[in-house]
Amino acid sequence: MRPSTTQPGPRTGIVAYHAYLPGYRLQRSEIAAAVGASARGERCVAGHDEDSTTLGVAAALPAVRGREAAVGSVWFATTDPVYADKTNATAVHAAVDLEPGILAADLGASLRSGIAALFAAARDGGLAVLADRRGGPAGGADEREGADAAAAFLFGEENLLARVICTASVTAEFIDRWRAPGAPNGAAWEERFGEQRYIELADQLLTRLSEAGAELGGVRRFAVAGSNARAVRSVASIVQKATGARLEGADLADVIGNAGAAQAGLALADLLDAARAGETLLLISLADGADGLILQATGAIGASRGEPMRGQVDRGVTIGYPQYLLWRERLAAERPRRPDPDRPSAPFAWRNRRYKLSMAGGRCRTCGAVQFPLPRICYQCHAADDFEPVPASGQTGRIVTFTVDRLAFSPSPPLVSAIVAFEHGGRLQCELTDVRQPIRVGDEVVPTFRRGATVGGVRNYIWKARPVDPTTPAAAERSGTESES
Amino acid sequence: MAQHSLSDRVAIISMGCTRFAEHFDRSADELAVDAVAEALDGAGLTQDDIDAFWLGTYVSGISGMALARPLRLVGKPVTRVENMCATGSEALRAAVYAVASGAVDVAMAVGVEKLKDTGYAGLISPKIQDDGTRVNTSAPANFSLLVPAYRERYGVAPDMFRAAMTHVAWKNHANGALNPRAQFRRAVSKESIERSPAVAGELGVMDCSGVADGAAAAIVTRAEDARKYTGSPLYIKALSLVTGDGSGAADPRYDYTSFPEVVACARRAYAQAGITDPRRELALAEVHDCFTPTEIVLMEDLGFAERGHAWRDVLDGVYDRDGELPVNPDGGLKSFGHPVGASGLRMIYECWLQLRGQAGDRQVATAHRGLALTQNLGGAPGDCVCFISVVGSKPA
């Protein structure tokens, strides 16, 4: 029998979670048409300035906000890491503005890293960040059926949305899906071979879960994540028969696509979104073995969870396939007749980290003027070195003035920039992103963590501002409040 | 502590200015040699007669050796200065201060810039190593912020403001067409200005100044010595520089309808020169028309127009060459392009010609007023450096 220390503590559970679907959609039919094939549905696509790290930050911020001090660790999972050798979780840690005294680590570039991040975070009250961008050979099934998305889960022992009942794992070495490190395209063995292995592994997993104390007959809802679609379907059918539970998220692959290492996160977020108080939930991940997580929703699940993932599915903007290929640098765009950007200076970025990565500035203790980044001397009253920290992240801002720049370098021209005034004071000039309709002075924006240029392999991260989608429930609520006042 | 006027203590005794153009066949060194030679010839001096040199260049040379080498200056103090678009004017300011201090008898200011060797579009600024956090906007994008802000504040209809921007470009190109030293020597129709391709915000290509190579030079002496060299020197009436603290973007009080640095700089310049009504006292003004809305806003910041009225004055022809106050009668940056280190001295060169009645076809009728203003603006709205000079044909 496994030692009990591998199980999360008895009071452990999920405190907060958020799934992030980036704002772009690609019609599978358009991808398939490039190679004379046909396909249905659409996949979720990250913007040109989003990578696995920024997707992870977008998922983590809403889950962590206000609970920064309670985060015990950061476990980052992706198959599309920005860096090898250098840790990617540290940028997430910085952007979410967590305490220095915790571990932030990556879990390698395998599909199983997603569920591994959840298990690891469940054991130490940590933050599991599952983020991925999935593609494949042009026009092929992997490109069509992949997705770019992220989900983050904060574990803890107080104010739980769902308590962890138990976890179990079965490991097996066989060839189903593989990819050389750094290669853009992966490969898979004939699906039926992997399907049979995963059916065997799922059987063993159910046994292990029972042995760990789970009452499988009590499971009310379950979800299965994995990259082998046949295996996912077959295992779902077996689990349904074994437990009588309701399958959630069977359509995720159709409406979003398969987000690789983040797929277990999307499945779990969907499961939690559907859960009602007291229900027992089962998540199964099929990746080089089978892993299971059983949870029980608490009475807080209805009131305290954030915006459901399904609400984001229909908010995407459709882009063309050539646009996608340009964004992923699969096609080389014409370069502007301007110099290339310089490599960001490592010492400069380190000194500037409070602003650059955490978007923090300062409020002058003498006159109250807010400024970004934290200056030595206040622009307004000239008092020196007496500021209290102010984060812009998490605030909303309003556009003071803006311009569309057709000359400046941008991977997706034109570059739109604006002077943004924040609700708690302070103004700064920044780039706008995810601009979907003409900008107007006074429009509401929120800061969003994005990638800039990569020079010499060094990726420049910057905070931009994103117009608030007027269709989001939060925006509607705010404008409603304003019209009453 | 205070700043003091050097009015009438120093005079310009000779100047030189190359044609501003895409000089693919000439180096920065050759352009400098040409401008210096013209200035020396005009005063009947040789290099040996000059006690000290200041070179203004933004990107085309480092240290005073960038001038000492091509001129083969032996044993002379030569200093390179840089202050963005005020670079050429900084060279003059240093030369004037040197003469006024009594440290030297004769000093030369040289401005030179070679921009057409890069192969890039627009002006390429030197990059200071940073961490890439600052948003990388272009100059036209930065100045385009003036347009919606100004229209909004003063309730100007978009087509009226567009017409005023067009008038600025049309006027300056019409002036440049008469100037043999201008890069562009062709009048441009208002239709083609308004149809030009979009660059940033509501600015089209024809709302932007060009990119050119060029050089200009000035020799200065004590005012009492000036008539030894020329019968009609230009007296330095005011030199004013205000360097912004860069707080515009951060400061909610800044609304992108003005350049506070220019307002402060002009106040000081007018105090030095004893000017109270610039619109009627100045014979002409050479201002920094980097982009058409910049010139409109400058008319207010320099006190030539009431707040909110400059666009109307522009349309009424107040600043045309035959208007109440001719602005950029040489064609401005629009016709000359903007070889950064040379532009400030090129503006002074037009004052030199106009106040001495040597401007030929484009001679302004107001020259008898005897005072002319030059103004440079470097940076962006909310974050800029401003230089203003006033020169005069008559001593106090």
pLDDT in tens, A5-29: 578 888 899 999 999 999 999 999 9
Average pLDDT over residues A428-455: 94
Using a CB-CB cut-off of 8 Å, the residues of chain B touching A371 are 250
B204 Cα to chain A: minimum distance (Å): 10
The answer to whether residues B221 and B267 belong to one domain is no
Tokens, residue A170? 């079965």
**Is it the case that residue A124 has pLDDT exceeding 90?**
yes
Measured CA to CA in angstroms, residue B304 lies from B280, B284, B295, B296, B365 at distances of 9, 11, 11, 10, 18
**Cβ proximity of A118 and A15 under 8 Å:** no
The confidence band for A474, taking pLDDT boundaries of 50, 70 and 90, is low
Domain-located, residue A338: no
DSSP-derived pairing of the beta strands A127-133 and B284-286: unpaired
Average pLDDT over residues B319-326: 98
Domain limit, last residue, from A259, A292, A327: A327
| Cβ-defined contact of B122 to A352 (cutoff 8 Å) | no
The answer to whether residues A277 and A388 belong to one domain is no
Catalytic choice (B17, B23, B85, B208)? B85
Q: How many domains does chain A have?
A: 2
Average predicted confidence (pLDDT) for chain A: 93
Q: Does A344 touch chain B (CB under 8 A)?
A: yes
**Is it the case that residue A3 has pLDDT exceeding 50?**
no
Q: Determine the 3-state secondary structure of A464 from DSSP.
A: strand
Q: Can you point out the beta strands (E) in chain B? A: 10-17, 52-56, 78-81, 106-113, 198-200, 203-204, 214-222, 234-243, 284-286, 371-380, 383-392
**Is it the case that residue A419 has pLDDT exceeding 60?**
yes
Catalytic choice (B23, B167, B288, B338)? B338
Domain limit, last residue, from A299, A327, A355: A327
CATH number (domain holding residue A84): 3.40.47.10
The answer to whether residues B239 and B227 belong to one domain is no
Its domain, for residue B219, covers: 10-115+213-232
Q: Does A453 touch chain B (CB under 8 A)?
A: yes
Q: Determine the 3-state secondary structure of A9 from DSSP.
A: coil
How many other C-beta atoms can be found within 10 angstroms of the C-beta atom of residue B36? 25
Tokens, residue B379? 């940076």
**Is it the case that residue A478 has pLDDT exceeding 80?**
no
Q: Does A417 touch chain B (CB under 8 A)?
A: yes
**Is it the case that residue A1 has pLDDT exceeding 70?**
no
Q: Does B331 touch chain A (CB under 8 A)?
A: no
How many Cα atoms are found within 13 Å in the side-chain-facing hemisphere of B120? 15
The answer to whether residues A87 and A120 belong to one domain is yes
Which residue in chain B has the smallest CA separation from A414? Answer: B200
Using a CB-CB cut-off of 8 Å, the residues of chain B touching A419 are 145, 249, 256
pLDDT one-digit tens code per residue, B24-77:
999 999 999 999 999 999 999 999 999 999 999 999 999 999 999 999 999 999
Using a CB-CB cut-off of 8 Å, the residues of chain A touching B152 are 441
Measured CA to CA in angstroms, residue A427 lies from A395, A408, B381, B385, B393 at distances of 12, 22, 14, 21, 46
The confidence band for A481, taking pLDDT boundaries of 50, 70 and 90, is very low
B338 carries an active-site annotation:
yes
Its domain, for residue A238, covers: 10-327
The answer to whether residues B173 and B202 belong to one domain is yes
The answer to whether residues A108 and A36 belong to one domain is yes
The answer to whether residues A323 and A461 belong to one domain is no
The answer to whether residues A393 and A296 belong to one domain is no
The confidence band for B122, taking pLDDT boundaries of 50, 70 and 90, is confident
The answer to whether residues B189 and B91 belong to one domain is no
| N-terminal to C-terminal alpha carbon distance within chain A | 63
> What was the pLDDT predicted at B71?
98
The answer to whether residues A257 and A399 belong to one domain is no
Of A337, A407, A426, the CB nearest to B200: A407
**Is it the case that residue A471 has pLDDT exceeding 80?**
no
What percentage of chain A exceeds 70 in pLDDT?
A: 96
Average pLDDT over residues A398-410: 92
B288 carries an active-site annotation:
no
The answer to whether residues B109 and B154 belong to one domain is no
b vs e for B111-141, b when ≥16 Cβ sit within 10 Å of the residue's Cβ? bbbbbbeeeeebbeeeeeeebbbebbbbbbb
The confidence band for A485, taking pLDDT boundaries of 50, 70 and 90, is very low
The confidence band for B124, taking pLDDT boundaries of 50, 70 and 90, is confident
> What was the pLDDT predicted at A4?
46
The answer to whether residues B176 and B276 belong to one domain is yes
The answer to whether residues A199 and A274 belong to one domain is yes
pLDDT one-digit tens code per residue, A299-354:
999 888 888 999 999 999 999 999 999 999 999 988 878 888 889 999 999 999 99
CATH number (domain holding residue B200): 3.40.47.10
Tokens, residue B49? 């007669």
Measured CA to CA in angstroms, residue B312 lies from A248, B157, B192 at distances of 67, 11, 21
Q: How many domains does chain B have?
A: 2
pTM of the full structure: 0.94
Measured distance CA(B311)–CA(B313) in Å, rounded: 6
The answer to whether residues B272 and B169 belong to one domain is yes
Domain-located, residue A333: no
Domain-located, residue A430: yes
pLDDT one-digit tens code per residue, A133-167:
999 999 999 999 999 999 999 999 999 999 999 99
The answer to whether residues B146 and B20 belong to one domain is no
The H or E element containing residue A356 is helix A353-356
Which residue would you say has higher pLDDT here, A108 or A416? A416
Q: Does A409 touch chain B (CB under 8 A)?
A: yes
The confidence band for A480, taking pLDDT boundaries of 50, 70 and 90, is very low
> What was the pLDDT predicted at A482?
37
**Is it the case that residue B283 has pLDDT exceeding 80?**
yes
Domain-located, residue A296: yes
Amino acid identity for residue A139 in this structure: G
pLDDT one-digit tens code per residue, B327-357:
999 999 999 999 999 999 999 999 999 999 9
What percentage of chain B exceeds 90 in pLDDT?
A: 94
Average pLDDT over residues B215-239: 97
Q: Determine the 3-state secondary structure of B55 from DSSP.
A: strand
ipTM for the predicted complex: 0.91
The answer to whether residues A136 and A234 belong to one domain is yes
The answer to whether residues A221 and A249 belong to one domain is yes
Q: Does A377 touch chain B (CB under 8 A)?
A: no
Domain limit, last residue, from A263, A293, A327: A327
Q: Is the peptide bond before A373 cis (omega within 30 degrees of 0)?
A: yes
The answer to whether residues A185 and A276 belong to one domain is yes
Domain-located, residue B4: no
Domain-located, residue B167: yes
> What was the pLDDT predicted at A470?
63
